[in-house]
Amino acid sequence: MMQKTMLGKTGLEISRVTFGGIICMDEAQKDADRFVSHAIDAGVNYFDVAPSYGNAEEKLGPAFKNYRSKAFLACKTTERSAEGARRELENSLKTLQTDYFDVYQMHSLSEQADIDKAFAEDGVMRTIIAAKKEGLIRNIGITAHSEKVALEALSRFDFDTVMFPFNWALNIGKGFGSELIKACKEKGIGILGIKSIAHRHWREDEVRVYPKSWCKTIFTHTSEEEQLGLCAMKHALSLGVDSLVPPGNFTQFEFMVKHFDECAANPISEAELAYLKDCMPEEKEYIFAI
Q: Which residues are catalytic?
A: 53
C-alpha closest to that of 115 among 162, 158, 80: 80
Cβ burial, residue 52 (10 Å; 0-12/13-18/19+): middle
List phi, psi (to 5°) of 118: -65, -40
- Count CB-CB contacts under 10 A for residue 48: 28
CA dihedral 46, 51, 55, 59 (to 10 degrees): 30
Strands in 10-169 per DSSP E: 13-15, 19-20, 46-48, 72-77, 103-109, 140-144, 161-165
C-alpha closest to that of 72 among 212, 243, 207: 243
Helices (H), 135-242: 147-156, 168-174, 178-187, 223-239
Do 85 and 28 form a contact (C-beta atoms < 8 A)?
Answer: no
Do 248 and 23 form a contact (C-beta atoms < 8 A)?
Answer: yes
Distance CA 250, CA 232 (A): 18
DSSP state of 29: H
